[in-house]
């Protein structure tokens, strides 16, 4: 694919674009990328509305190509935009801690009346009811999709549910394994510490550059 110097960073639920600032700064300082932060109503907005907002944001920025990095729900929003728009601009996608095969924590929250206002439409539609593995497989056939999962089990999710296997405290590694993705790597980070990890940025930058993550001689990340 043609190299592009632009990256759009997309935050997760209950958050704001500023949460991606350290990722933006390292990508710009260490790798020379031009990084734009995208904001969207993660609770109030529907999945397709937020995907449309991202599509319009790219158009308004005048970009003919761009990479995308999405944290948690941000990765789901990016996949939804790419799934809905067959003419989306070219570029690679990195999903960081994104629940692409459902979410035990989100499913539990969706059953609690008190939590309904906090779960929102995007998480309900794109993770609980029908996760990305049910509607985004064709995206993986059309472009490079890399996934970074965390294995440091410290986060809000542990307060409301239990996980089978490795997890980042909010999302299980198994919940990130989207079939057909170009590459997948596990790192010793929690769901929130992904946002401040230089190593995560380095891996994301490697994928954006060459379509695969960095691994040592043993084949591990």
Confirm whether 56 is domain-assigned: yes
Token pair of 59 as six digits? 């158009």
Domain assignment present for residue 217? The answer is: no
Please check whether residue 1 lies inside any domain of the structure. Answer: no
Give the pLDDT confidence score for residue 220 in this predicted structure.
45
The predicted structure's pLDDT at residue 218: 40
**Please, which residues bridge with residue 7 across strands?**
35, 67
Q: Report the 3 state secondary structure along 198-215.
A: HHHHHHHHHHHHHCCCCC
Strands, DSSP E only, in the chain? 6-10, 34-38, 67-71, 93-96, 145-150, 183-187
**Does some domain include residue 86?**
yes
If you ran DSSP here, which 8-state letter would residue 4 be given? Answer: -
163: domain CATH number is 3.40.50.1820
Measured between alpha carbons, how far is 38 from 17 in angstroms, rounded to an integer? 6
CA distances from residue 146 to 51, 107, 140, 160, 209 in whole angstroms, order as listed: 19, 24, 9, 28, 12
Note the pLDDT of residue 16.
Answer: 87
Strand order in the sheet with 93-96: 34-38, 6-10, 67-71, 93-96, 145-150, 183-187
Look at residue 118 in the predicted model and tell me its pLDDT: 77
Kindly state whether residue 47 falls inside one of the protein's structural domains.
yes
* Cα Rg of the chain, angstroms: 16
Q: Are strands 93-96 and 145-150 parallel, antiparallel or unpaired?
A: parallel
- State how far Cα 22 lies from the chain centre: 16
What pLDDT score was predicted for residue 19? 95
Does a structural domain hold residue 216? no
**Which residues in the chain show pLDDT less than 50?**
1-2, 218-221
Q: Range of 99's domain?
A: 6-210
Q: Residue 149 in 3-state DSSP?
A: strand
Are 38 and 8 contacting, i.e. CB atoms less than 8 angstroms apart?
Answer: yes
C-alpha 200/C-alpha 182 separation (Å) is 17
Name 15's Cβ contacts closer than 8 Å, sequence gap at least 6. 42, 71
pLDDT one-digit tens code per residue, 29-86: 999 999 999 999 999 999 999 999 999 999 999 999 999 999 999 999 999 999 998 7
- How many domains is the chain partitioned into structurally? 1
pTM value is 0.93
- Confidence (pLDDT) at 105: 84
Q: Is residue 219 part of a domain?
A: no
**Domain assignment present for 130:** yes
Predicted pLDDT of residue 131: 95
């Amino acid at each position: 694919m043609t190299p592009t110097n632009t990256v759009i960073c997309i935050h997760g639920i209950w958050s704001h674009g500023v949460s991606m600032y350290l990722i933006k700064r390292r990508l710009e300082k260490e790798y020379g990328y031009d990084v734009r932060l995208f904001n969207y109503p993660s609770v109030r907005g529907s999945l397709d509305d937020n995907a449309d907002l991202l599509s319009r944001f790219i158009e308004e920025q005048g970009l003919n190509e761009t990479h995308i990095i999405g944290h948690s729900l941000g990765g789901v929003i990016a996949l939804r935009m790419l799934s809905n728009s067959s003419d989306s601009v070219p570029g690679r996608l990195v999903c960081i801690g994104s629940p692409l095969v459902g979410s035990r924590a989100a499913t539990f929250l969706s059953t609690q009346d008190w939590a309904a206002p906090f779960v929102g439409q995007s998480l309900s539609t794109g993770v609980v009811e029908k996760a990305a593995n049910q509607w985004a497989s064709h995206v993986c056939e059309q472009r490079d999709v890399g996934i970074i999962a965390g294995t440091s089990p410290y986060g809000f999710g542990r307060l409301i549910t239990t996980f089978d296997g490795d997890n980042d405290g909010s999302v299980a590694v198994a919940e990130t394994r989207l079939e057909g993705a170009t590459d997948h790597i596990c790192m010793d980070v929690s769901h929130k510490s992904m946002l401040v990890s230089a190593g995560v940025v380095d891996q994301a930058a490697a994928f954006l550059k060459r379509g695969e993550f960095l691994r040592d001689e043993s084949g591990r990340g």
